[in-house]
Chains A and B, each alone.
Chain A
Amino acid sequence: MIYKKDANFPYPILTNTSTSYKNSSFLLDVRLEENTNDYRLVIDYEISSSFINDLIKSGDAVLVFIIQSKDTRFFMLESDQLTVEIPKNRISLNKRTSIQLHIQSTKEINFSKNKDLTAFYNTFKDEILVSRNSLLGFSNIVVFEGSIQNPFVLFEKKLDENLSSDIKVELGSETIIIHYRKADYQFNGVGSSKAFNNPYIYTGLRTALQRFINEYGKGEDYVDLSQIPQPENLLDFKLYQLMTKKMIEEVSIDTIDEVISLISDKIIEKYASAVKELINNGN
């Protein structure tokens, strides 16, 4: 199983967010290749700690390749193994597949030679003993998402004369759908019609982000994006990608507008200039 949440472990763990190792990082990237019968996963990883790297080299620790889709599979990697092959009929890429590397000790590890620890742990390192079969570190998670119909589409629109309001925002399975009661409300044929719809887009994003916070905030009014797994809901998944790509670490009720302005490319500015253009050409 994929593990992500930061917590206080009983001894130093090497992760991308750990504060027990100096400049701690454990980066994983995976490339997907295929032939007729198999998928081949090509692993590329980088571990910041030379102590841990040495343990892997000597066999005192082992890399565990974890692949989770409908269920979970573990592969103990040989020290120089960088690919994993899985028969196509035993892996489904139609849905979500998450991949992570863990490092596990194969015998009791004494940390006295570990020069990569931060100050507190460094003072105690002679006394740190980690027993056999224990976790020493985990990487970031690589996700392959195969259930998205339309990975690049965030908004859709729909015309519905029978709508009981002029406009309605619906959060669809992977898009935000704006319903219009009248075609006129879409401003088709008026100047930069797309930009005139930007206030609706804004509203749509706000609605979606509010639900996002409700869903992942666990009762609080904020979500720390570094602590939640990539959302299963595909609309939320897209929003998560947009936000993390813009280095947004936290989204909260108070910061929704700021988040929108970061993930949407100047939609208000474009709206304003479209209006201006129309006024100028209006005569």
Chain B
Amino acid sequence: MEIKLLKPGYKNNEQFYRDFLEDKIISNDDYFSNEIVTIANAPDFPIYIAEGTGEEKKQSFRQAFQVMASFYINTDRDLHLDELFWHSLLVTKKREYILENYPDVTTSFGDFKNIVVKSFDWQNYIYKCVLAVEYIEDYFNNAEEKDRYYNLVLENLDLYNYIIKYSIFRNAEFLIKILTIIDELDISGIMKAKIKDRPDLGTDERYGRRVIFELNKNYPVIMSPLLDIDSLKQEVIQALSYYYDVSEIRKNMLQLEHS
């Protein structure tokens, strides 16, 4: 499949939005540079996963993971980590799919910007999926392991978002290790929970985010992405201890080690 790449400048162009609604983009060469990229297959997948129940969202993520792993992730990073590629794909090949599944885009230019030509960063759902899939697919060979980690990502989405927000921690090994630790220590629930006894931290602060922030503060004196899993586990518990009584966790861990 050939995809014509857009020329920069479309993002804040309201005419571009109207032309999208009226299906006038593809026919207008002014919107495109001369560059074309080719991709073997580009099937549909959920591009915006903010609505619905928790389970519905997880379902959408799983679907997106699966399509990406099969069709998109083996392309060059120049492609699958390029905003221009995704935006071009969406407006030239996915218009029908978008109108059908995300009718909000017809409501306002703002919604269109938020759903379709959304900045390709940690808040963009395609971006979240691409990174998770690339990391997990590259790291594991067997399907069971892959599934386990896809599920861990979905179980710890808030933390996952926070991890890929910081370039320090946007790293395959680090993500895998952190998810492994959370799983082993069984602290997913704690990490997700809001911190209630620290008004100085604001109302929506969560233990998981603070743990990542503590690791961030220690960097580069302690380079947590490079630590082996046991050392990292100690760092995570230490960081959590500034906000949470970890004696139970420590005890459980010792039991785990001895069993």
Contacts and interface: CB of A to CB of B under 8 A. Distances in A.
B231 interface: yes
Given A92-B82, A104-B226, A71 B220 contact: no
A135 B219 CA distance: 9
B219 A89 contact: no
Nearest to B77: A92
A112 interface: no
Contacts of A173: 8
A108 B164 CA distance: 31
A134 interface: yes
Contact of B223 (A64, A90, A95): A64
Interface residues of A, number: 28
B223 A88 contact: no
Given A71-B131, A74-B171, A173-B8, A104 B77 contact: no
B222 A134 contact: yes
B170 to A, nearest CB: 4
Contacts of A3: 219-220
A207 interface: no
Given A89-B74, A89-B77, A1 B219 contact: yes
Interface string A58-72: 000000100011111
B81 interface: yes
Contacts of B8: 173
Interface of B: 8, 74-78, 81-82, 131, 138, 164, 166-173, 219-223, 225-227, 231
Interface of A: 1, 3, 9-10, 64, 68-74, 76, 88-95, 102, 104, 133-135, 138, 173
12 contacts: A1-B166, A70-B81, A71-B164, A89-B74, A90-B77, A90-B138, A91-B77, A102-B223, A133-B222, A134-B222, A135-B221, A135-B222
